[in-house]
Every structure is written in structure tokens, then in C-alpha cells.
């Protein structure tokens, strides 16, 4: 799976454009992320509970602006998920 590009309000993944924030699951399924959750602040942030969960599971979390997050997602090997904020 490759994130092709993004612009304000959309993201293109494997040739398909999504006009909303997305969550890419381990299975490769692409889900719409609820806009309400994304737009509470200027950017997406992990809740303290989510950060603690990932720490317990020994998962690396990258919190980057969208362009850098896309590049990091595309470079990452192995199992990965992605949450991309493109609409606020």
C-alpha cells in the first residue's frame, strides 16, 4: 500500500482519492476518520490513553505533519497503520 499524495481536503492512496481524513488499518482497510475527532485541535494528537496503549505494546508512534507522515508511512517496512489528517 502506498500513499500517493495529499492536498488540503483529500488524500490519494493506491490511486484512489478520499475526500476526508483516513485511518489505514493493519489489514490495509481504509476507513473514514470522524471529522469531529480530527478538528478538535489544529492537528491530530494521541490521547494519553492511546499513547500509553502503544507504549505498552512496544509500538513506535510517529507524530509528524501530513507530508512527513506520508513519506514515513511509505518508507516503513513490516506491519503498520496510519492516521492521516487532511481536512482542517
* 38 grid coordinates: 480530527
Give me the residues paired with residue 16 across strands: 13
pTM > 0.85: yes or no:
no
Query: 23 and 34 in contact (C-beta within 8 Å)?
Result: no
Which residues, 6 or more positions from 13, have their beta carbon under 8 angstroms from its beta carbon?
1, 2, 3, 4, 22, 24, 30
Determine which helix (DSSP H) or strand (DSSP E) holds 5, and give its type and residue range: strand 3-7
Average pLDDT over residues 10-21: 95
Domains of the chain, earliest start first: 3-84 (3.40.1230.10)
- pLDDT tens, position by position, 30-64: 999 876 655 555 566 778 898 899 999 999 898 88
Amino acid at each position: 500500500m502506498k500513499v500517493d499524495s495529499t492536498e488540503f481536503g483529500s488524500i490519494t492512496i493506491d490511486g484512489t482519492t478520499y475526500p476526508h481524513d483516513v485511518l489505514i488499518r493493519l489489514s490495509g482497510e481504509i476507513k473514514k476518520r470522524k471529522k469531529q475527532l480530527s478538528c478538535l485541535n489544529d492537528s491530530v494528537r494521541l490521547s494519553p490513553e492511546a499513547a500509553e496503549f502503544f507504549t505498552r505494546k512496544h509500538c513506535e508512534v510517529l507524530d509528524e505533519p501530513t507530508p512527513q507522515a506520508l513519506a514515513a508511512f511509505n518508507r516503513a517496512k513490516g506491519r503498520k497503520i496510519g492516521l492521516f489528517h487532511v481536512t482542517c
